Structures are given as C-alpha cells and as structure tokens.
Chain A
Amino acid sequence: MKRQPTTPPCPGCGAFARVFRDGQSQCAYCGSTLPPLPFTHPGGTFAHTNPLRIGMKAKVMGKEYVAVGRLLYEQNDEGEVYRWEEWVLLSQDGEARYLEFDEGKWTMSEAFQPGAAPSFAELAPAAKGMSYQVGNMRASVSDAGICRVYGVEGEVPWPVDPGHFLRFVDFEGGGGFFSAELDESEQEVEWYRGRRLDESAVFEMFGLKKEAQAATGREDARKDRRGFGCMLVVLALVALIGGCGVGAGRQVAAGESTAAMIPDEGRRFGPYKLTQVGRVHRLNVETSLTQTSMWVQAVVEDASGELFDAEREFWDESGTDSDGAWHESDLRASRDFRLAQAGNYYVRLFADPEAAATSAVVRFTLREAVIFPTYLIVFGVFSLVLGGVFLLASSPQTKQKIWEAMDD
C-alpha cells in the first residue's frame, strides 16, 4: 500500500484534506463540494471503538490535521485474530500522520527516510527478536507478520484495497518506535516512526475535553492501582523479611545435657538475668536422634515456680518404600513469651527417652528481644497477594497474557 497522497487540492482554498459528508466529498476547510475520488469509501459500516470520527480536527504540535479516513486491520496469529485501526490525519498542506489504536494503546506515526536501512529482501525474513541497523541506531524487531486490511472508510487520499495483505515489521530502539511496511508488488519498504500517546492526550488533540477528562481519570486510577500495588508488594517484602529473616534476637542463655543425666524431677540451669521487660523472649529446645524417639520438655521458671514450657515428642526415622528411601524427623520445639518483670529466671529440662535415645544430647537456648513473626508473615502474605492483584489490574496486557497462558 503506497501511502502517497494522490488527491488534487481543493480548487477554492488549496487544502488537501477532504471528508465525505452528506453523500458527497467536501473540502474539510472551506466546505466546497469536490468531485468524488475514484476510491472513496463511505463510512458507517464499521463499529467505532473510540470517540474519534471522520471530519474531526486535531492539533498536533501546533499544526492542524483532519481525520479523513480510517483503516481497519486484522492479523491471524496461529488462530488468534487481532484487530486494530489506524486513523489517517491529513493537514491542510497534504502532510499525513497516522494514529493507531491497538488494544487501548495509541501510537502517532509519520513517514520518514532512515539514512541506511535494510532492504526489502533483508526484511522479508524478519522475526521477533532479530535486530537491524536502522539509520544510525540498532533496532530490534518487536513484532513482525502479515496483516490484512479488512475495512476502510472515508477519504483516504490513496487507493486502498480492502482485503489487501500487508507485511509489516515493528522495531523498538533508540528510545523510539519504528515500523516498516513491505510492498510485495514493488519490493519496496516504507518507513514510519512514532511515539506512544496517552488516551487523554489524543482526546485533547481533538478537542474532546469531556472525553479527555474521563481518560485522565482512568489513567490516574490505573497509575494509582499500580502505585498502590507496588506499595503493598514493598510492605509485604519488608514484613516477610522482618518475620522470617531478621528478628531472632540475642541469646541470653544456653545449656545442654544428655538424656540419661536428666533425673525425673528435671535438671535446672541458671539463674539467668532477663531485663528486656515488655519484649518477646523465645525458648528453644532441640536434640539429635537417629532412628529413635524421646519426649522432651524445657520449662522457664522463676522463684515462684514454672512459667512457660516448650515440649515435644522428638523423633527421627528413615526407611524405604515404593518411592525409594525416606527420612523424616521432628527434633525442635520453641515457645515465645513476653517478659513482664525483670529478674532471675531458670530453665529446667525434662526428658523421657527410649532406650536407644538415652545418650542423645538435649540442648536449649533462651533469646531476648525477639520479633514475634506471626503477624508479620500473615500481613506479608496477604499484602503480597493483594499487591499482585492490583499490579495485574493496572496492566491489562499482562492480565490478558496470563489468561492466554492459562487457556493454553
């Protein structure tokens, strides 16, 4: 499709832009009735997906353009049909710009001639991920394929054949967006460069103030969803790191004894001076066993008697079954508590071992200024999930890709 304006200017005012209105071709500026183009495509047969209409005027960097026509494209990518549209904007002096609307994203582009660029033959096998030298920059292919013009309406100033197939290559590089259209019949390449536009900026250009305001509101809400999602993920990570990684506190007491050395009334260790009033303390008890079990209880006491315990039936066993060898054990228990009063405290160990476990060593530690992890972990997991949902909701493309991947 050679995008060379071929229509004659208006004999009255010299403007090139014309619109099809009231069943006839009219100059977009002085309103003169003009002889119809041999390839006029009266509109009205294709549904609109945005508020733009043929005949609307837009200010692009201070210059006025008229939306003279709309091209509708579709691409069949392994059974998935993608559709997008392109508005042809024509200035009074015949300069063309192209406004693409694809899955909610707007791109404004214009024709340009890169100094040194790949030829038709070099671009024919282009595929996503390949890179080419375009002008003085290295650009990588972001998309390539064959699309079809399935509809056209308005006074597009060059012949457009609905049903025409078009090979395209999209590039990204040098902070910009490029695309090449390959003309199969003439073995030529037409180059376009463009930039993404916010929806509100597009509507502002066309003077659609209400729509621009609504679009700004939608964009603000989307940006806020992303910002809020990011904030939740950051808070979740800080909470999870705090809950799982740091906050183990300082060790203030430790002791050990073989099970056989622990009498029925228990073996007492201490006293240990605890001073961190109002802070969390943790009593840990552990042992090492092989193919046996032992009940262990560690009790924190003060002068008045028992206060807290950590107790467990510890065990270790291994064997083989139809899945092969296995080894399982449970050799550690702990208890968190708050210190209400500073003073001297003791730890008493009790043990009830099997015969094979009497030589096993039972160890305990007492730590102060521990960060109690449960609230942080619950908050972290909840915020991480919620943050992920908000981040997904702020990016419709990512959400769609995930749905497609789940469908596959």
Chain B
Amino acid sequence: MLRTWGYRIAALLFLGLFGWVWWASYVGYGLASTAAVAAQRQSIQSRRSARVGSVYYGGRYVGGGGPRFGK
C-alpha cells in the first residue's frame, strides 16, 4: 500500500489512464467508422487509380517491389 500522497495520486492517475487505454482499444477510439464514407471512398478510388497510371517497363512496374527490388 502506498504511504505518500504524491505516489497515491500518481498511482490513481495511471490506473485511470490504464482504464481509458483499455476502453479506447476496446471501442477503437479515433478509428474511422463505417458512418463517414465520402472522403474514404475518394481515397480508396484514388489509390486504385494511382496504381492504374503507374509505369510498366521490362516486365514490372517501375517503383514496385522492396527497397532492393530489381536493383
């Protein structure tokens, strides 16, 4: 059991933060939800259209692959 008030308060704050972190992880606080879709739709389509417009050369997409791909 903690004897000094400073540590008691700090422990309570951390326990509160711990509880909030679990709640936030449980409900996905801050994550995009299925309710807001207009901007999400645009970004999904823009990512796909960017892929369609990429340069194809020598049997592969230029810029594709890992850091050493084809180097």
Contact = CB atoms under 8 A, between A and B. Distances in A.
A311 B47 contact: yes
Interface residues of B, number: 43
Interface string B17-41: 1100110111111011111010011
Given A225-B7, A307-B34, A337 B28 contact: yes
A383 interface: yes
A69 to B, nearest CB: 36
B24 to A, nearest CB: 5
A17 interface: no
A109 B58 CA distance: 85
A242 B33 CA distance: 22
B25 A247 contact: yes
Contacts of A313: 61, 64-65
A372 B3 contact: no
B69 A338 contact: no
Contacts, number: 144
Contact of B2 (A224, A340, A354): A224
Contacts of B22: 239, 242, 376
Contacts of A220: 3-4
A338 B4 contact: no
A319 interface: yes
A243 B25 contact: yes
Interface in A41-55: none
21 contacts: A220-B3, A224-B6, A225-B7, A227-B1, A279-B26, A279-B28, A280-B25, A302-B34, A307-B37, A307-B40, A308-B34, A308-B44, A313-B61, A319-B68, A338-B31, A340-B35, A352-B61, A355-B59, A372-B24, A372-B28, A375-B24
Interface of B: 1-4, 6-7, 10-11, 14-15, 17-18, 21-22, 24-29, 31-35, 37, 40-41, 44-45, 47-48, 51-52, 59-61, 64-69
